[in-house]
Structure 1
Amino acid sequence: MTHTATYRAAVPTFRDGVAGGEDVPVSTEEDVDRLVTLLVEPGVYTASLQAGEGMAVLEAHVQDGYGYLRYYGLDQSAVSAGVSASPPVESEVEFPGGSGLPLDQFRAVLAEFVKTGGRRPAAVEWRRLS
């Protein structure tokens, strides 16, 4: 996987009644797999991927078997256009209904974001946010 930066995924957790979090480096296909595996676990919340200040951010969340994405670029923000049956997610970052992706596609979009150095991934359609 070619990349221009190592991304850090800040992942809040709530396990055994204790709030916590994990800081996951993401720069390889294996790192993306590890992040997706973590996000599927109960008590794990929205991950925020960013390489550094002023760079694009990708928020990633898994719920009910769907992966949700919200992209923040320099001049735009958007959510993934996903499966219409996917429910909305109420978390620290809200995702509207219909923005959840099948997990294989979710993983591919995360990998593309890291590989391209934070460009908005083309492996999914996006709905702009106002």
Structure 2
Amino acid sequence: MNNRVEAYYREEHAGNRPVICSAEDVDELIDSLLTAPAYHNMAELHSLERVSLPSGFPDHELLVGVDNNLQAGVLEFMDAEGNVVTLGSSEGRGEVSYFIVGNATEFPDRSEIPIDLVRQAVKEFLASGGKRPTCVQWQVPEFW
């Protein structure tokens, strides 16, 4: 696998984002988020295999949030087709928030999925060159 994904999940990454190149790197990222303080439990990912917009910004985004206590997480995928978030079990816990460097992002009810599925989806995102993962179910959020 030669695909690469750029990650942002710590303040020090603002100018120098780490690059994820393997399934092992994905596991390290998820493990790092699981052991981080609660206000650092989400990462923003962009595939380096996709063409940027004319502005130079990525044409897509994958947000990955994890909750160590629940061993669950959320995903958000955005591209030209719109925004979607993961669809979890029928027993959600209401709206939930995850944080990148202290900045909250809210996710709708029933958006959390098991942590193993989060790992699988991020590995698929890497392997596919930045396509929306198909191993999870998606929902269109009402408030984005």
Deviation at 1:80, TM superposition (A): 0.4
Which 5+ residue runs of structure 1 have no aligned equivalent?
Answer: 13-19
Task: Report what 2:97 is aligned to.
Answer: 90
Contact residue 65 and residue 103 of structure 1 kept, 8 A: yes
Structure 1 residues 8 and 107, CA, compared in 2 at 3 Å: closer, same or farther? same
Aligned match for 2:47, one of 51, 59, 65? 51
Contact residue 79 and residue 126 of structure 1 kept, 8 A: yes
How many aligned residue pairs are there? 121
Q: TM-score, normalised by structure 1?
A: 0.82
Q: Which amino acid aligns with 1:31?
A: D
Structure 1 residues 114 and 102, CA, compared in 2 at 3 Å: closer, same or farther? same
Answering whether residue 73 of structure 2 is matched by residue 67 of structure 1, we say: yes
Answering whether residue 35 of structure 2 is matched by residue 41 of structure 1, we say: yes
Q: Which amino acid aligns with 2:62?
A: L
Which 5+ residue runs of structure 2 have no aligned equivalent?
Answer: 49-56, 99-103
Question: Within 2, Cα distance between the matches of 1:120 and 1:113?
Answer: 6
- 1:1-130 aligned within 5 A: 1=1, 3=3, 6-12=4-10, 20-22=11-13, 23-43=17-37, 44-51=40-47, 53-63=57-67, 64-87=70-93, 88-91=95-98, 92-130=104-142
Deviation at 1:41, TM superposition (A): 1.2
RMSD: 1.9
* Cα shift readout 1:40-86 (whole Å, capped 9, x = no counterpart): 11312320001352332100111132111011112211000113334
Contact residue 46 and residue 58 of structure 2 kept, 8 A: no
Contact residue 10 and residue 47 of structure 1 kept, 8 A: yes
Q: Which amino acid aligns with 1:73?
A: D
Q: Which amino acid aligns with 1:90?
A: S
